[in-house]
Structure 1
Amino acid sequence: MFDTILLPTDGSDHAAAAAETGIELATAHDATVHVVCVADTGPLGDLRLPGDAASAEDAIRGQAREYVDEIVDRAEAAGLAVTGTVLEGAAAEALLEYARDIDADLIVIGSRGRGGVHRLAMGSVTDHVIRFGDVPVFVANSGSEDD
């Protein structure tokens, strides 16, 4: 039923739990897995680390690569065909574009379980992917934000 599964990650425990679910689904369907992380190298990304903007961007991309590689290793250990990619741009849009490019059959994404005013104020990558994507989305909710 699923030949190509997209596993986005941001390095969080919620994304790791979703990746585990995605790996299990991929194993059951003998699917190819694409692990992606969107590196936030925009203006806010530059403020996260000391030093010049280029160094900060390199550090952010490096951290994103580590997040991807960790899940790629887990998928490979499960015997799956897997690729890992670091994307840049607005997270939800980058994920949806990548899903279209690889002709994904399913996106397995984590949720922090946020709701109410916090979700409205901050927005939600998962919510955007669900609302605007044309690929089925499996949301692995690992509990509330306080977990």
Structure 2
Amino acid sequence: MFDTILLPTDGSEHARAAAETGIDLAAAHDAAVHVACVADTGPLGDLRLPGDAASAEDAIRGQAQEYVDAIVERADAAGLAVTGTVLDGPPEEALLEYAREIDADLIVMGTRGRGGVHRMALGSVTDHVIRFGDIPVFVANSESQSE
């Protein structure tokens, strides 16, 4: 049923839990796995780390690559065909574009379960992917994911 599954990650516990679900689904369907993290190097991303913008961008990209590598390692250990990549741009748009590029059959994402003011102020990448994508999205949300 699924040939290609996209596992986006931001390094959070929620994303790691969703990746485990995605790896299990991929194993059950003998699907290829693509792991992606969007390096948030926009204006707010640059403020997270000290130093000049170039070194901050390098640090953000390095951290994103570490997040990807951890899930790639897990998928590889499960015997799956796996590819990892770090993307650029607004996360929701970058993920949807990449999903189309790899012809993903399914996106498996985590959610923090934010609502109300948090969601209005911060938005939701998962919500955007669900609402504006044309690819099925499996959302993994556990009771331990409330903030």
Q: Distance in 1 between matches of 2:99 and 2:108?
A: 11
Tell me the number of residue pairs that the alignment of Structure 1 and Structure 2 aligns: 146
Q: CA deviation at 1:142?
A: 2.5
Q: Is 2:119 the partner of 1:145? A: no
Amino-acid identity (%):
84
2:124 match: 124
1:6 match: 6
Q: Distance in 1 between matches of 2:100 and 2:142?
A: 26
Q: Distance in 2 between matches of 1:33 and 1:63?
A: 20
1:86 match: 86
2:59 match: 59
Structure 1: gaps (5+ residues): none
1:99 match: 99
Q: Distance in 1 between matches of 2:121 and 2:90?
A: 17
Q: Deviations over 1:77-124 (max 9, x none)?
A: 000000000001000000000000000000000010111222122110
TM-score by length of 2: 0.97
- Amino acid aligned to 1:15: A
Q: CA RMSD in A?
A: 0.8
Q: Distance in 1 between matches of 2:54 and 2:117?
A: 35
- Amino acid aligned to 1:45: G
Pairs within 5 Å for 1:64-83: 64-83=64-83
Q: CA deviation at 1:145?
A: 2.5
Segments of 4+ in structure 1 off by > 6 A? none
TM-score by length of 1: 0.97
Q: Deviations over 1:15-60 (max 9, x none)?
A: 0000000000000000000000000011111111111110000000
- Amino acid aligned to 2:146: E
